[in-house]
């Protein structure tokens, strides 16, 4: 859903409609908070939902506890994503990078303390994630409020932010369905793994696979965000040829990135699993993890091209 902010606001910024950028960002935040409120109801009852669909009660209990404590991240994410797109379409990426670095440096000791020293274990990890997400949001909000770089697009909160909500949802719903169907495929695999003969092992292996794909997904995700910003800015400014060049450039980068990432995974397939576990059974599934990651890398190209189309 946040990509629609980049599409709409990016074109508005390219057309020098700076006030519209601010209003659309506020509208997107409000819309996503509403959606997060609905999703939070499912997350709060996640343990019961998992048991209802036949999951192992022990795993369902742990997953439910973890999900409950990550509910605050839904609302942080609902604010952070439009805010990050708001800065990206203005090419204000360095403040976002510094913000991420500072948040990460704070997150590591916070996570270590809450997981290992406080006795909260999994709940401590969820709490650390929630705190770090909100720190990320707070730092960006302070930058937007006080930085002169955002002066042109910074507008006061008013009722005008509700005017573009209908247009926002018209773009969002098809895009959200497309993204959800794609990502739910991996979640369904994780859910089905619990029904196998050794659910603890299979869940651990799937965790390695999904973590690996999520990590490598960050690279094409960043490239996709950059080209989406560039394309929307150029189209808003009435320069379709420049937008076309940006698309061709990112296609070449995508192919190079996939070859490097997949080659790295293949070359380290026998030892890669030790990054996550010292259990030989888990590490022995390294080839499987590589295969899943390779398929995901191919899908990442589709994601990137989908973002370009927007």
**pLDDT tens by residue, 227-257:** 877 888 788 778 888 888 888 888 888 788 7
pLDDT tens, residue by residue, 258-277: 778 777 777 777 777 777 77
Q: Residue 307, Cβ neighbours under 10 Å: how many? A: 23
pLDDT band at 25 (very low <50, low <70, confident <90, very high): confident
Supply the pLDDT for residue 53: 81
User: What gap in Å lies between CA 308 and CA 225, rounded to an integer?
Assistant: 9
* Better-predicted residue by pLDDT, 218 or 19: 19
Q: What is the mean pLDDT of residues 172-190?
A: 74
Residue 142 corresponds to which tokens in the numbers above? 């302070």
Q: What is the mean pLDDT of residues 96-104?
A: 92
State the chain's mean pLDDT as an integer: 80
Supply the pLDDT for residue 200: 67
User: What SS3 string covers 177-238?
Assistant: HHHHHHHHHHHHHHHHHCCCCCHHHHHHHHHHHHHHHHHHHHHHHHHHHHHHHHHHHHHHCC
- For the chain, the structural domain boundaries read 1-187, 196-310
**CB of 91 closer than 8 Å to CB of 10:** no
pLDDT tens, residue by residue, 32-84: 898 899 999 999 999 998 888 877 788 788 889 999 999 999 999 999 988 98
Residue 108 clears pLDDT 90, i.e. is over it: yes
User: What gap in Å lies between CA 256 and CA 249, rounded to an integer?
Assistant: 11
pLDDT band at 309 (very low <50, low <70, confident <90, very high): very low
Helices (H) and strands (E) in the chain, counts: 12, 0
- In the chain, the percentage of residues whose pLDDT exceeds 90 is 21
Across 62-76, 163-177, 284-298, the highest mean pLDDT is recorded for 62-76
pLDDT band at 296 (very low <50, low <70, confident <90, very high): low
Q: Residue 4, Cβ neighbours under 10 Å: how many? A: 24
Q: Residue 151, Cβ neighbours under 10 Å: how many? A: 8
Supply the pLDDT for residue 133: 94
């Amino acid at each position: 859903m946040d990509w629609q902010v980049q599409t709409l606001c990016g074109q508005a910024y390219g057309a020098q409609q700076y006030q519209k950028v601010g209003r659309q960002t506020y509208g997107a935040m409000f819309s996503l908070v509403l959606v997060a409120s609905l999703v939070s109801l499912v997350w709060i009852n996640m343990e019961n939902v998992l048991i209802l669909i036949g999951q192992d009660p022990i795993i369902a209990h742990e997953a439910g506890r973890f999900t409950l404590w990550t509910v605050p991240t839904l609302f942080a994410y609902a604010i952070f994503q439009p805010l990050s797109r708001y800065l990206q379409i203005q090419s204000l990426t360095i403040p976002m990078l510094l913000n991420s670095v500072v948040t990460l440096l704070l997150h590591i000791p916070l996570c270590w303390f809450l997981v290992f020293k406080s006795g909260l274990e999994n709940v401590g990890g969820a709490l650390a994630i929630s705190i770090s997400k909100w720190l990320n949001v707070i730092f960006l909000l302070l930058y937007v409020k006080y930085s002169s770089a955002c002066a042109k697009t910074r507008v006061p909160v008013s009722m005008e932010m509700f005017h573009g909500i209908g247009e926002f949802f018209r773009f969002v719903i098809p895009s959200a369905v497309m993204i959800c169907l794609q990502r739910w495929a991996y979640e369904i695999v994780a859910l089905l793994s619990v029904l196998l003969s050794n659910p603890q092992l299979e869940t651990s292996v799937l965790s390695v696979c999904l973590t690996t794909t999520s990590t490598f997904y960050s690279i094409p995700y960043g490239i996709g965000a950059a080209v989406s910003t560039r394309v929307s800015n150029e189209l808003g400014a009435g320069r379709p040829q420049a937008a076309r060049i940006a698309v061709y450039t990112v296609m070449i980068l995508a192919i190079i990135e996939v070859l490097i990432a997949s080659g790295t995974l293949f070359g380290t397939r026998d030892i890669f699993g030790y990054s996550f576990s010292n259990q030989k059974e888990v590490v022995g599934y390294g080839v499987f993890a590589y295969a899943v990651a390779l398929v995901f890398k191919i899908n990442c190209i589709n994601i990137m091209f989908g973002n370009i189309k927007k």
